[in-house]
Structure 1
Amino acid sequence: MRLSGTTTGSTPLSSPEFHAEITPSHLENKTAFRDEVYVNSESDNVVPIVDRRENNELSRSLKQRHIQMIALAGAIGTGLFLSLGGALQTGGPLGALLGYAFVGAVVCAVQFALGEVSALFPVTGSFVRHAEFIFDPALGFAVGWNVVYGTYLSVPSEISAALVLIQYWTDKYPALWITIFIVITFLVGIVFVGVYGEVEFFFAMLKILLVVGVVIMGLIIDLGGVSGQERIGFRYWSNPGPFVEYLSSGSWGQFLGFWAVMNNAVYSFAGVESLSVAAAETQNPRQNIPKACKRVFARVTILYLLSVLIVGMLVPSNDSALDDYSGTASESPFVIAATRAGINAVPSIINAIVLTSAWSASNQSLLAGTRILYGLALKKQAPQVFLRTTKYGIPYVCVILQTLVATLAYMSLSNGALTVFYWFLDLTAAGTLVSWSVILFNHIRLHQGLKKQGIAKEELPWHHWWTPYTSWAALASCILFLLTGGFSVFVNGNWDTATFISSYLDIPLVIVAYSGWKIFKRTKIIPLDEIPIRDALDEIVRAPEEKIPPSRGWRRLNIFWG
C-alpha cells in the first residue's frame, strides 16, 4: 500500500528550519509548481495523496477567515436559539449546562483529531477519504454515502424549517418562498466557491452578534437592569431546582434528564465536522484547517455555555411557555424572557437570524454533500459524471443533483407528505455520531501507524501530546451516545417507533454498506505499517505551502477568525 519509497529526514514540519529548507524559489507561481510536482511524481511512480484532478480542477479560493467562520457557522445553528428551552425543561439549568459542557468537550476532541489528520491528508471529502488511507476503502464508501444521503436530505429539511420561520410573519405564498430558497441555495452552490465563503462569513458574523447581544440582554434582565423588573439572579436554580426528573423519580430521574440533554446537544453541534470537506478548495489547508479546528474550544466555551447558563437564569425549567413547539422564535427562552421584560423587538430579530441559520445550514449541507460525492467519484465509488466541474472549479453535476433533491421541500405543503419526508430524514439522525466516531477512529489509527512505522508525531504538520488520549475518551463517549440515543423508548409505556428508527437504523445501514462494498470489491484492512504517512510527509516537501505569518497586535486576541 506504500505510495512511494521516498524518505525524508526527521526535521519537524512545524519548525522554522523545515519551512526555510523546503520553500522553493519559484513558489510565487504556485499553480505551475503544483503541476511540475505532479508530473515529476508520475514519472517517479509516485501516487500523490491529493489527487491530481482535485488539485488541478478545483479552485483554492476559501481563505483563512472563510474556513474559520465556516467552522463557527457549523457550531452555531438553530439548536442554540430554539432548542435550549427543551434542554432546560428536560435537564434543568445545571443539567443542561453540564450536558452541553460534556458534549462540547467531545466536540473539541473531534475537532483536534480532524485537524491533525486533515493537516496531513488535505483532501476533498475529509474524514471519508481519510478512512480509505488509514483503515479500509470500504469504510470510506459506507460513511461517505451515509453522509451524502444525510446532507442531501438536510437541504430540503432546512428549507422546510425556513418556511416555518417565515410563517412567524406571514403564511402567504408558501410555494413561492420554497422556490426562492431553492434558487438562492443553488446559486450560492454553483458560483465561485469564494462566494460561498463570503456568504457563510456574513452569516457567522450575524450569529456571533446575536449570541453576544442576547447574552448581554439576558444579563441585564437577570440583574434587574430593565425598568419594572426585579433582580432574578440564580433564583431558579433553587426553585424549581438545578435538575429535573425525567422518566423516573429521584436521583435516577435527574440523571436521565441530564443524559437526555446530552443526546440532544449532540445534534445542536452537528456540522462542525464539515469545515475540512473542501480542503482542496482551501488556501494553505495544512495551516488553515488546524487553525479553524482549534478555535472550536473557545467558541464552545464562550458562546454555547454562556448561552445555556444565561437561559437557566432567566426562565424556570417548569415554565409553561417552554411548551411552545412552533419552530419559530416564540419557543426561544431568550424571547420568552425578553417579552416579559417588555423588549418587544427581540422576537423578530431572533427569528430573522434563525432564518439565516436555516439558510446557512442548507448551504453547508450542499457544500458537504457535493464535495464528499465528488471525493467518492474520485475513488470510483460513485459514477464518474460527478467529477465534472465548471471553469471555476465547482462540481456542477453534484450541485444539480442536490438541487433536484431539494425540491422535496415542496412536500411540506402537504402534512401527509411532510410526515413521510421526515421519516426518511430520521433514518440519518444518528449520522452525526457515526461521522464523529470515524473521525476519532481515523486519528487513533494514524497515531498507531506512527508508532508502528517509527515516525515521531513531531513530524506531523500539526499535533498535540494529549490528542491520542482525548480521541479514545471521545470515541467511547460517541459510541455510548449512539447506543443510548433512543433510551427513552425502552422505558415502560414510552415506546415510539419513529424515535427508535431515528436513533438506531443508521447503524445497520452503515454496517451493510461497509460489508457489501468490502465483499463486492474485496477490499482489505490496511496494515498499520502500510498507512501512507511517510508518503504524505514527502508530498508536503514536494509541494510546500507558503508560511502564514503569525497574527500580531490586537489580532492575536481574536478568537473567532484570526
Structure 2
Amino acid sequence: MSITAAYDAQPSKTVDVGAYGVQDNVQHGDFVTENEERDLRRGLAQRHIQMIALAGAIGTGLFIGLGSSLQTGGPLGALLGYAFVGLIVCAVQFALGEVTALLPVTGSFVRHAEFLVDPALGFAVGWNIVYGNWLSIPAEISAICVLFQYWTDINSSLFIVIFIILTFVVGIAFVGIYGEVEFFFALLKILLVVGLIILGLCIDLGGVPGTPRIGFRYWSKPGPWVEHIATGSWGNFLGFWSVMINAVFSFAGVESIAMAAAETRNPRQNIPKACKRVFARVSLFYILTVLIVGMLVSSDDERLQDESGTAAQSPFVIAASAAGIKAIPSIVNAVVITSAWSSSNQALLAGTRVLYSLALKKQAPAIFLRTTSWGVPYMCVLLQTAFMFLAFMSLSSGALTVFYWMVDLVGCGVLISWSCVLVNHLRLLAAMKKQGIARTELPWHNKWTPYSSAIGLAACLLILLTNGFSVFTHGGWSASSFVSSYLDIPLILIAYLGWKYAKGTKFVALEDIPIRAALDEIRDNPETPEPMRKGWKGVVMKMLWE
C-alpha cells in the first residue's frame, strides 16, 4: 500500500491547517503517489545514477571554461575558487541525499519544498527549473553548431535538426535507454579527463620530446594571483571571487541526480550513495584539472582570450598545441560536443520530471500526467521538444542576441536550486527536533550535515547576491550581465508570492510535517538490499560506481 493510502487511512494523524495544509499535501502527492507507482518505470540502476550526476557536472565548463577562470584569478585563485565551491557542492549533495532517502519522489527538491516548507515555494522553484530547461536545451544545441564549425562550414541548420531529433528520441524512449546513453557519454568524459590530466603532467614534467620542463614556472611569473578590477590584495580577492562564481556554473547539474527518483531502483539506497560518492569524484576531477591547467598555461596567455567557443579556447588544447601534439584539439572538440548533447539530454530529463511533478500537485495542467506504456511523460517531452526549435534563432545575429537574453533570465537558477535543497534539509532537521524524532531514524544521515547545510546556505545566498558585482564597478556596467546575474531573483519572488496569494498557501508548521508517517512507510516497505558482487568484477564496479 502506498504511503498516501496508508496516511489517508489514519485521519487521526492528519492536521488540517488550511487550503494547502498537511492533509492536502499528503493527499496530493508529497510522498510517492499512486500515479508514480502506476505510470512510471524504475529503469535507472545505481551505475546510471552515478554516471548521470558525473555527466551533468563534467562538461564544457571543465574542458573549455577553465581558461577564463585561470585568466581571471590566476592558478592559485582558480584552485581555491573551485575547491571552495566543491565544499558547497558537498553540503548540497549530502543534504539532498538525506532528504531524498526519506522522500524519493519525482521532482526531488521541488516536491520536498512543498512537503517541508510551503507549496508556493515548490511552485516557484519548480517552474524556474522548467523554463530554465526549456531554454538550456536550445542553448546547448546552438553550442554544438558552433563546435562543429571547428571542422566544417556546413549550414548549422542541419546540425540543429539532427540534434533535436536525437534529443527527442532519447527523451521519449524508456528511461533505461537514457541511462545507458548517459552512462556511455559519462565514461567518455571521464576517460578524456583522466587522459588530459596524464598528458598535462607529461607536458609539464618535460615528458614530451622537444618540450622543456615547465613545473610551477607560471606560479612564479606572472604569479599565483591575478588582479581583477582593483589592484593589490583587494584585486586578488576579486579575482578569486569571480572564479568562484564561474565554478558554481561549472558544477551545475549535480543537483539533478534525484529528479527521477521514482524511476530509480532502490532509490533510498542508491541516490544517497551516489550523492556521497559523486561529490568526491567530481571534486577530484575538477581540482586536479584546475591544478594541472595552472601549471601548463600562463594566466596572461593571449590565446585564453579566444572567443570562438570551440576547442581552440581550451587550455589543454593550448598546451598540447605548444607541445606539437596535433590530434588533441579534435579529440577535445569531439568530446565537448558529446558533453553539450549530454547536457541537453539531462536538461530534458530534469525539466520533464519537474513538470510532471508540478502536474501531480495541480500546479500544472493535468495533461502533463499522461505517460507512455513504458513510463515516460510524453506530453512533457513534446512540450520541451517544441522549445528546442528556439535553437534556430542562433542562425540570425539579431535573433541570437534576443535568444541569449532569454537564456540570461535563468542565469542564477543553479544557486536558487542549491539554496532550496539546503533550506529543505534544515527544515527537515528542525521538524525532527520539534517532534522529538532522532536523526538516527533517517534511512541515511551524517553527523556534520546540520552545520554544513547552514554554512552552505549562507555561502549560496552570498554568491547569489554578489555574483554580478562587476556591473556595479566603475566602467563595468552591462545590461546583459545584470540580467543574467539578478533578474531570476524577482521572477522567483513573483512566482512565489503570486501562487501564495492565489491559493492562500501557508508555511507548513514544523509539528505538522508528517515525518513519522514517512518513516513508517520505510519500515513497512523496505527496499531489497543491493546484491554484493564478488571477485575482480565486484572490486572494479565498487571503484567505479558503488
Question: Which interval holds the TM-score relative to the shorter structure?
Answer: over 0.9
Task: Please say if residues 159 and 178 of structure 1, whose CA atoms lie closer than 8 Å, have aligned partners that are also in contact.
Answer: yes
Q: How much is the aligned-residue C-alpha RMSD, in angstroms?
A: 1.4
The amino acid across from 2:446 in the alignment is H
Give 1:288's match in structure 2, choosing from 256, 266, 270: 270
TM-score, structure 1 length as denominator?
0.92
1:342 lines up with 2:324 in the alignment: yes
What corresponds to 1:53 in structure 2? 35
5 Å-filtered alignment, 1:524-535, equals: 524-535=506-517
The amino acid across from 1:361 in the alignment is S
What corresponds to 2:19 in structure 1? none
Task: Please say if residues 295 and 559 of structure 1, whose CA atoms lie closer than 8 Å, have aligned partners that are also in contact.
Answer: no
Using the TM superposition, name which of 233-242 and 46-55 deviates more. 46-55
In structure 1, how many angstroms separate the alpha carbons of the residues matched to 2:351 and 2:453? Answer: 25
In structure 2, how many angstroms separate the alpha carbons of the residues matched to 1:293 and 1:420? Answer: 37
Deviations 1:468-498 (A, max 9, x none): 1000000000000000010001111110011
What corresponds to 1:407 in structure 2? 389
In structure 2, how many angstroms separate the alpha carbons of the residues matched to 1:553 and 1:423? Answer: 54
User: Can you give the 5+ residue segments of structure 2 that lack an aligned partner in the other structure?
Assistant: 12-25
In structure 2, how many angstroms separate the alpha carbons of the residues matched to 1:451 and 1:553? Answer: 44
Give 1:494's match in structure 2, choosing from 476, 487, 490: 476
TM-score, structure 2 length as denominator?
0.95
What corresponds to 2:429 in structure 1? 447
1:418 lines up with 2:371 in the alignment: no
What corresponds to 1:12 in structure 2? none
Task: Please say if residues 7 and 517 of structure 2, whose CA atoms lie closer than 8 Å, have aligned partners that are also in contact.
Answer: no
In structure 2, how many angstroms separate the alpha carbons of the residues matched to 1:40 and 1:464? Answer: 29
Deviations 1:434-476 (A, max 9, x none): 0000000000010001100000000001000000100000000
1:477 lines up with 2:459 in the alignment: yes
Using the TM superposition, name which of 536-545 and 84-93 deviates more. 536-545
5 Å-filtered alignment, 1:326-365, equals: 326-365=308-347
5 Å-filtered alignment, 1:6-405, equals: 43-44=9-10, 47=27, 49-405=31-387
What corresponds to 2:545 in structure 1? 561
The amino acid across from 1:268 in the alignment is S
In structure 1, how many angstroms separate the alpha carbons of the residues matched to 2:429 and 2:313? Answer: 45
1:540 lines up with 2:522 in the alignment: yes
Deviations 1:516-547 (A, max 9, x none): 10010000100111112111111112322101
Task: Please say if residues 69 and 560 of structure 1, whose CA atoms lie closer than 8 Å, have aligned partners that are also in contact.
Answer: no
Residues 481/39 of structure 1: CA separation in 2 closer, same or farther (3 Å cut): closer
Shift of 1:300: 2.8
Using the TM superposition, name which of 330-339 and 45-54 deviates more. 45-54
Residues 92/538 of structure 1: CA separation in 2 closer, same or farther (3 Å cut): same
Deviations 1:372-411 (A, max 9, x none): 0000000000000000000000000000000000000011
Shift of 1:298: 1.8
In structure 1, how many angstroms separate the alpha carbons of the residues matched to 2:488 and 2:231? Answer: 31
In structure 2, how many angstroms separate the alpha carbons of the residues matched to 1:148 and 1:302? Answer: 30
SS at match of 2:545: coil
In structure 2, how many angstroms separate the alpha carbons of the residues matched to 1:78 and 1:167? Answer: 16
In structure 2, how many angstroms separate the alpha carbons of the residues matched to 1:320 and 1:482? Answer: 30
Residues 233/542 of structure 1: CA separation in 2 closer, same or farther (3 Å cut): same
Residues 519/315 of structure 1: CA separation in 2 closer, same or farther (3 Å cut): same
Shift of 1:548: 1.7
In structure 2, how many angstroms separate the alpha carbons of the residues matched to 1:76 and 1:142? Answer: 28
User: Can you give the 5+ residue segments of structure 1 that lack an aligned partner in the other structure?
Assistant: 1-33
In structure 1, how many angstroms separate the alpha carbons of the residues matched to 2:122 and 2:154? Answer: 44
Residues 40/246 of structure 1: CA separation in 2 closer, same or farther (3 Å cut): closer
Deviations 1:87-125 (A, max 9, x none): 000000000000000001101110000000001010000
In structure 1, how many angstroms separate the alpha carbons of the residues matched to 2:228 and 2:332? Answer: 29
Task: Please say if residues 50 and 278 of structure 2, whose CA atoms lie closer than 8 Å, have aligned partners that are also in contact.
Answer: no
Task: Please say if residues 348 and 384 of structure 2, whose CA atoms lie closer than 8 Å, have aligned partners that are also in contact.
Answer: yes
Give 2:486's match in structure 1, choosing from 504, 508, 514: 504
SS at match of 1:352: helix
Shift of 1:55: 1.4
Deviations 1:123-168 (A, max 9, x none): 0000000000000000000000001010111110100011111111
Task: Please say if residues 148 and 372 of structure 1, whose CA atoms lie closer than 8 Å, have aligned partners that are also in contact.
Answer: yes
Using the TM superposition, name which of 111-120 and 547-556 deviates more. 547-556
What corresponds to 1:467 in structure 2? 449
Task: Give the percent of matched residue pairs that are identical in Structure 1 and Structure 2.
Answer: 67
Task: Please say if residues 133 and 347 of structure 2, whose CA atoms lie closer than 8 Å, have aligned partners that are also in contact.
Answer: yes
Shift of 1:43: 4.8
* Paired residues, number: 528
Shift of 1:553: 5.7
Using the TM superposition, name which of 157-166 and 291-300 deviates more. 291-300
SS at match of 2:511: helix
Shift of 1:77: 1.1
What corresponds to 1:24 in structure 2? none
In structure 1, how many angstroms separate the alpha carbons of the residues matched to 2:153 and 2:193? Answer: 28
In structure 1, how many angstroms separate the alpha carbons of the residues matched to 2:293 and 2:8? Answer: 58
In structure 2, how many angstroms separate the alpha carbons of the residues matched to 1:408 and 1:303? Answer: 33
Give 1:523's match in structure 2, choosing from 505, 511, 521: 505
Using the TM superposition, name which of 535-544 and 478-487 deviates more. 535-544
In structure 2, how many angstroms separate the alpha carbons of the residues matched to 1:197 and 1:300? Answer: 19
Task: Please say if residues 4 and 33 of structure 2, whose CA atoms lie closer than 8 Å, have aligned partners that are also in contact.
Answer: no
SS at match of 1:295: helix
In structure 2, how many angstroms separate the alpha carbons of the residues matched to 1:427 and 1:550? Answer: 46
In structure 1, how many angstroms separate the alpha carbons of the residues matched to 2:414 and 2:280? Answer: 21
Task: Please say if residues 299 and 560 of structure 1, whose CA atoms lie closer than 8 Å, have aligned partners that are also in contact.
Answer: no
